[in-house]
């Protein structure tokens, strides 16, 4: 491709060179301005705008991490992360899956290993919020099926996270009005879903509840899911969790 006698690289090459320039590398070929002496300065402004925009997008996606480390620390942290993991989609809400791993491996935060788990919760909440819509099942349909054979389908927003730290409690304490939340001792497991009011609560669930949800998500019958829950916790009672899922509109289908 020619532009005023200048040979431009193929599109993938240009994208790679442009991205490298945004990270501080040489300017890509083909950039022009009325005064060519202005090219460097103008691109520097653009580079800074991109960095600021990415940092703001990450702050919007991980507000608890920003609160925990402080604004002054979060902004340069976000810029460093953006250097290592660029968005792969123009939809910035999809970006940030690798942030928890970045935090886990960032030496200045080695004394705060729970931050990576909090980031996992925040990313999963974003995914749940943007999950596809699905209508909840009619409770009368569920009541008519054999509880030993029935297989439940959960809303696309439902997920469970096994965490190595009390990250659910930490997340909850950093919500509005969360000062009174007691800090759990030891690891927690999070149940995340988008409820019927389009809120995305985070529940701390037991090992039995976790096994139950994971078995249901894997397509097992409710009977086998209950067996899995009892293997994780001999005293497990599935009723409370199933009621929680039903009230949230998180059970969307059932088949025998």
Contact 232, 210 (CB under 8 A): yes
* 254 or 5, greater pLDDT: 254
Distance CA 251, CA 119 (A): 26
The reply to whether 71 falls in a domain is: no
Distance CA 60, CA 206 (A): 30
Distance CA 168, CA 190 (A): 6
What was the pLDDT predicted at 112? 97
The reply to whether 239 falls in a domain is: yes
Distance CA 125, CA 201 (A): 8
What was the pLDDT predicted at 36? 62
Q: Is the pLDDT of residue 1 over 50?
A: no
The reply to whether 44 falls in a domain is: no
DSSP 3-state helix, strand, coil percentages of the chain (rounded to 5)?
50, 10, 40
Cα–Cα separations (whole angstroms), residue 175 to 77, 202, 203, 240, 253: 22, 11, 14, 25, 32
What was the pLDDT predicted at 2? 44
Q: Is the pLDDT of residue 187 over 90?
A: yes
Average pLDDT, the chain: 88
Contact 171, 118 (CB under 8 A): yes
Q: What's the gap between Cα 73 and its chain centre?
A: 21
Q: Is the pLDDT of residue 221 over 70?
A: yes
Domain that holds residue 130: 113-256
Q: Which residues contact 202 (CB under 8 A, 6 or more apart)?
A: 121, 125, 168, 171, 172, 190, 191, 192
pTM for the structure as a whole: 0.84
The reply to whether 19 falls in a domain is: no
The reply to whether 186 falls in a domain is: yes
DSSP SS3 for 141: helix
pLDDT bucket at 33, cuts 50 / 70 / 90: low
What digits encode the pLDDT tens for the residues 158-175?
999 999 999 999 999 999
Q: What is the 8-class DSSP label of residue 150?
A: -
The reply to whether 30 falls in a domain is: no
Q: How many independent structural domains does the chain possess?
A: 1
What was the pLDDT predicted at 47? 67
The reply to whether 40 falls in a domain is: no
The reply to whether 94 falls in a domain is: no
Q: Which range among 115-129, 142-156, 219-233 shows the weakest confidence by mean pLDDT?
A: 142-156
């Amino acid at each position: 491709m020619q532009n005023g006698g200048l040979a431009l690289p193929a599109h993938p090459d240009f994208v790679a060179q442009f991205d490298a320039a945004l990270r501080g590398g040489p300017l890509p070929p083909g950039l022009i301005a009325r005064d060519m002496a202005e090219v460097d300065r103008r691109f520097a402004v653009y580079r800074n705008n991109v960095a600021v925009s990415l940092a703001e997008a990450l702050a919007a996606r991980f507000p608890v991490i920003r609160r925990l480390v402080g604004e002054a620390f979060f902004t340069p942290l976000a810029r460093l992360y953006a250097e290592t993991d660029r968005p792969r989609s123009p939809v910035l809400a999809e970006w940030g899956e690798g942030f928890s791993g970045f935090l886990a491996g960032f030496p200045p935060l080695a004394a705060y290993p729970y931050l990576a788990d909090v980031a996992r919760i925040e990313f999963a909440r974003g995914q749940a919020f943007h999950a596809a819509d699905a209508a909840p099942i009619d409770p009368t349909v569920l009541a008519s099926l054999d509880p030993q054979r029935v297989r439940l389908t959960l809303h696309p927003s439902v997920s469970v996270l096994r965490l190595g730290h009390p990250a659910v409690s930490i997340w909850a304490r950093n919500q509005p009005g969360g000062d009174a939340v007691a800090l759990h001792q030891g690891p927690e497991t999070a149940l995340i879903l988008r409820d019927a009011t389009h809120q995305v609560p985070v529940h701390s669930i037991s090992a039995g509840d976790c096994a139950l949800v994971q078995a249901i998500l894997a397509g097992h019958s409710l009977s086998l899911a209950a067996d899995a829950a009892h293997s994780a916790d001999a005293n497990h009672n599935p009723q409370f969790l199933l009621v929680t899922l039903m009230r949230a509109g998180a059970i969307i289908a059932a088949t025998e």
